[in-house]
């Protein structure tokens, strides 16, 4: 990679243009396929590469990012198209809303927060999306279209072959496909198989190593169908000719009622765009050694999705495959991503009529290969074999809901389920008794044993609402069972405490106050200490109850021990026990205070 401090050279320009051309060639078949699968017209997938691709290339947080229509968005966009009375117009409105949400996310610096979406949720919805994509392409692979009782193709008033009806739910679409299997087109199945072979094995041939598999499949499949006159459906027979010009910019019709109806799917679109784009940026960093700016990336993706619908495009995101191809083919700067968009525009102007002749079976084969990579089924298999049961449950729930219900619901339920399981897991990290001999920096043990008056516990992890009740129950149980005079709670491993955790401690302190017990906190960080100081203001904690280390905690505890118990104690486990009376030195007890005098160590 060229250094950002070096002037832009002819060699860098040449490398960027070559990379941009190769990525543009990759984008053409994918743009066509993704648009059709999403319910858009073929040209809208290409427009998306032009508009969103050029904007993200210039302003994105990663200088190698390539944006465009993405497979991950297909189910949610297709669902909006199917359910909406306004068809794809509402997809464009949802894209605008998602763009606004992404800009706000970037402005609020949410770039890092998206990283906290649990992996089983991400893998679950990507695997579910992959299954959904394959399912939607079965009709194109089998060549199934709407036919009359006599077996003739149904033609619409505009002269286009009518497709099978699409339904909202997976099982309804599968039933529609099975119901029409008697009309299967063997030529279409053969063409899909030829295309799959070309995609998978074409790049392994010596002369085709640098040519993307999708392009090889597109050329081989389309050429085969044209030479041998395969009787299969094409883009033009189902959707009409692909125009060679861009539509004039215009805003889709927007009303507050539509915005309110589309806000949930728009939020899902925004999350998918953010996750996909940032994952792609991370891949770019790994391949190039560069470092992306996540919040800038979110803002750029948001702005691109505001522009794309205005020019007739689809929602877009950074795409891992195209971004990786950009770097692997020698991209040096942002010019590569921008030139990709320019090349796609030139191809629209010069070769749009050729795109009209692409068979649907060919596009379906391309989508099946894309879906197999998107689904990461090897990782899914590994997760199901080796992951904890909680992760398996989250993954399976997210996959099932994505396929059978709705991607929006899947993400919402997956996140909620993952959160509850996380809380359950954290609630198991309740305070544990401390072995002072083997688990502390305290060096004042005189001998092994148990002090009958002091109880040590150590808390681990955040003390928050998920663990608060279990935490309080544990301490109360210890008080009831062991009845210590002094309770020392070490907090060095407590990263944070929320108000629910604070209230749990408040209940413990009220109990200690009623039973005349002393509670001492040690090794708390700054945030936790500030919340503990609130108890001192409320006179639930003494001024000496928040200390810095175990030694100081034990010295403080000595002041509050019952001297009559100490006088008969044979354990004497702490070196500080020398401060306390024993049978032979009982006169050291101060009868007025019932407390021993403190002598220096």
Residue 575 located in a structural domain:
yes
Give the number of domains in the chain. Answer: 2
Question: How confident is residue 429, by pLDDT bands cut at 50, 70 and 90?
Answer: low
- Residue 275 in this model has a pLDDT that exceeds 50: yes
Give per-residue pLDDT as tens, 133-162. 888 889 999 999 888 877 788 888 888 888
Q: How far apart are CA 106 and CA 95, in angstroms?
A: 16
Residue 290 located in a structural domain:
yes
Give per-residue pLDDT as tens, 462-476. 888 777 888 888 888
Residue 306 located in a structural domain:
yes
Q: Which of 311, 332, 363 corresponds to the end of one domain? A: 363
Question: What pLDDT score was predicted for residue 504?
Answer: 86
Instruction: Verify that 494 and 574 share a domain, yes or no.
Output: yes
Residue 15 located in a structural domain:
no
Instruction: Verify that 168 and 52 share a domain, yes or no.
Output: yes
Range of the domain at 583: 432-588
Helix axes 468-482, 499-514, angle to 10 degrees: 20
Question: Mean pLDDT throughout 386-409?
Answer: 86
Which residue has better confidence, 255 or 54?
Answer: 54
Instruction: Verify that 446 and 351 share a domain, yes or no.
Output: no
Instruction: Verify that 63 and 157 share a domain, yes or no.
Output: yes
- Residue 358 in this model has a pLDDT that exceeds 90: no
Question: What pLDDT score was predicted for residue 387?
Answer: 81
- Residue 273 in this model has a pLDDT that exceeds 60: yes
Q: How far apart are CA 47 and CA 538, in angstroms?
A: 65
Question: What pLDDT score was predicted for residue 443?
Answer: 67
Question: Mean pLDDT throughout 376-401?
Answer: 88
Q: CB under 8 Å, gap of 24 or more: what pairs does 594-599 form?
A: 594/563, 595/559, 595/560, 595/563, 596/558, 596/563, 596/566, 598/555, 598/558, 598/559
- Residue 243 in this model has a pLDDT that exceeds 50: yes
Question: How confident is residue 288, by pLDDT bands cut at 50, 70 and 90?
Answer: confident
Percent of the chain with pLDDT over 70: 92
Which candidate, 489, 382, 379, 380, places its Cα nearest to that of 431?
489
Question: What pLDDT score was predicted for residue 595?
Answer: 43
Question: How confident is residue 300, by pLDDT bands cut at 50, 70 and 90?
Answer: very high
Which residue has better confidence, 172 or 588?
Answer: 172
Contact assessment for residue 141 and residue 189, using Cβ atoms and an 8 Å cutoff: yes
Q: Which of 363, 388, 404 corresponds to the end of one domain? A: 363
Question: Mean pLDDT throughout 408-419?
Answer: 83
Give per-residue pLDDT as tens, 52-80. 999 999 999 999 999 999 888 888 898 88
400 φ/ψ angles, rounded to the nearest 5 degrees:
-60, -45
Q: Which of 333, 363, 393 corresponds to the end of one domain? A: 363
Instruction: Please give the C-alpha separations between residue 226 and each of 192, 220, 280, 407, 498, in angstroms, as whole numbers.
Output: 14, 10, 37, 38, 68
Q: How far apart are CA 338 and CA 147, in angstroms?
A: 45
Beta bridge mates, 487 = 455, 519
Residue 409 located in a structural domain:
no
Instruction: Verify that 333 and 461 share a domain, yes or no.
Output: no
Instruction: Verify that 95 and 239 share a domain, yes or no.
Output: yes
Q: How far apart are CA 196 and CA 202, in angstroms?
A: 10
Pairing label, strands 546-547, 518-522: parallel
Question: What pLDDT score was predicted for residue 599?
Answer: 35
- Residue 430 in this model has a pLDDT that exceeds 70: no
pTM, two decimals, is: 0.71
Which candidate, 584, 599, 71, places its Cα nearest to that of 372?
71
Question: What pLDDT score was predicted for residue 436?
Answer: 67
Residue 408 located in a structural domain:
no
Instruction: Give me the CATH number covering residue 534.
Output: 3.30.750.24
Beta bridge mates, 458 = 432, 490
Question: What pLDDT score was predicted for residue 50?
Answer: 94
Residue 601 located in a structural domain:
no
Instruction: Verify that 459 and 576 share a domain, yes or no.
Output: yes
- Residue 589 in this model has a pLDDT that exceeds 50: no
Residue 59 located in a structural domain:
yes
Question: Mean pLDDT throughout 474-480?
Answer: 84
Question: Mean pLDDT throughout 122-142?
Answer: 87
Which residue has better confidence, 258 or 6?
Answer: 258
Instruction: Verify that 309 and 457 share a domain, yes or no.
Output: no
Average of per-residue pLDDT values in the chain: 84
DSSP line for 251-305 = PPP--HHHHHHHHHHHHHHHHHHHHHHHHHHHHHHHHHS----HHHHHHHHHHHH
- Residue 579 in this model has a pLDDT that exceeds 80: no
Instruction: Verify that 439 and 344 share a domain, yes or no.
Output: no
Question: What pLDDT score was predicted for residue 583?
Answer: 64
- Residue 31 in this model has a pLDDT that exceeds 90: no
- Residue 2 in this model has a pLDDT that exceeds 50: no
Q: How far apart are CA 160 and CA 233, in angstroms?
A: 10
Helices (H) and strands (E) in the chain, counts: 23, 7
DSSP state of 8: P
């Amino acid at each position: 990679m060229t250094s950002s401090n070096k002037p832009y050279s002819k060699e860098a320009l040449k490398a960027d243009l070559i990379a941009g051309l190769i990525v543009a060639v990759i984008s053409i078949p994918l743009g066509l396929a993704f648009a059709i699968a999403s319910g858009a017209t073929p040209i809208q997938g290409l427009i998306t590469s032009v508009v969103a691709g050029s904007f993200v290339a210039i302003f994105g947080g990663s200088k190698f990012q390539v944006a465009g229509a993405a497979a991950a968005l297909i189910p949610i966009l297709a669902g909006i198209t199917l359910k909406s009375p306004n068809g794809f117009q509402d997809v464009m409105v949802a894209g605008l809303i998602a763009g606004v949400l992404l800009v706000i996310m970037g402005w609020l610096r949410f770039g890092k927060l998206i990283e906290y979406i649990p992996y089983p949720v991400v893998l679950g919805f990507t695997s579910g999306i992959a299954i959904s994509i394959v399912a939607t392409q079965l009709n194109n692979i089998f060549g199934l279209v709407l036919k009359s009782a006599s077996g003739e193709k149904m033609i619409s008033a505009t002269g286009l072959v009518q497709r099978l009806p699409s339904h909202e739910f997976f099982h309804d679409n599968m039933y529609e496909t099975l119901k029409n299997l008697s009309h299967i087109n063997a030529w279409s199945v053969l063409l899909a198989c030829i295309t799959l072979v070309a995609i998978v094995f074409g790049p392994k041939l010596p002369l085709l190593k640098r040519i993307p598999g999708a392009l090889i499949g597109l050329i081989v499949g389309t050429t085969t169908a044209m030479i041998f006159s395969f009787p299969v459906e094409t883009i033009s027979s189902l959707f009409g000719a692909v125009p060679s010009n861009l539509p004039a910019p215009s805003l889709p019709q927007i009303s507050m009622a539509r915005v309110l109806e589309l806000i949930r799917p728009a939020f899902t679109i925004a999350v998918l765009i953010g996750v996909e784009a940032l994952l792609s940026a991370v891949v770019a960093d790994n391949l190039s050694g560069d470092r992306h700016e996540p919040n800038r990336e979110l803002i750029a993706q948001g702005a691109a999705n505001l522009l794309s619908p205005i020019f007739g495009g689809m929602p877009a995101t950074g795409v891992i495959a195209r971004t990786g191809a950009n770097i692997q083919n020698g991209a040096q700067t942002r010019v590569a991503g921008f030139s990709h968009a320019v090349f796609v525009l030139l191809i629209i102007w010069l070769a749009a009529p050729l795109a009209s002749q692409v068979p649907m079976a060919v596009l379906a084969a391309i989508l099946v290969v894309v879906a197999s990579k998107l689904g990461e089924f090897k990782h899914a298999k590994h997760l199901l074999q080796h992951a904890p049961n909680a992760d398996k449950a989250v993954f399976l729930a997210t996959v099932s809901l994505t396929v059978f219900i709705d991607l929006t619901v899947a993400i919402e339920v997956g996140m909620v389920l993952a959160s509850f399981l996380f809380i359950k897991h954290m609630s198991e990290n309740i305070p544990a008794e401390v072995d002072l001999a083997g688990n502390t920096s305290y060096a004042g043990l005189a001998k092994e044993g148990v002090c009958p008056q002091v109880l040590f516990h150590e808390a681990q992890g955040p003390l928050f609402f998920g663990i608060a009740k279990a935490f309080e129950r544990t301490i109360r149980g210890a008080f009831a069972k062991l009845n210590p005079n002094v309770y020392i709670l070490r907090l060095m491993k407590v990263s944070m405490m929320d108000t629910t955790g604070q209230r749990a401690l408040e209940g413990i302190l009220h109990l200690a106050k009623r039973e005349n017990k002393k509670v001492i906190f040690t090794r708390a960080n700054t945030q936790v200490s500030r919340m503990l100081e609130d108890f001192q203001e409320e006179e639930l904690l003494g001024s000496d109850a928040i200390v810095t280390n175990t030694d100081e905690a034990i010295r403080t505890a000595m002041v509050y021990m019952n001297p009559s118990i100490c006088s008969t104690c044979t354990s004497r486990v702490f070196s500080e026990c020398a401060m306390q009376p024993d049978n032979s030195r009982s006169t050291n007890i101060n009868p007025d205070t019932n407390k021993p005098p403190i002598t220096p160590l």
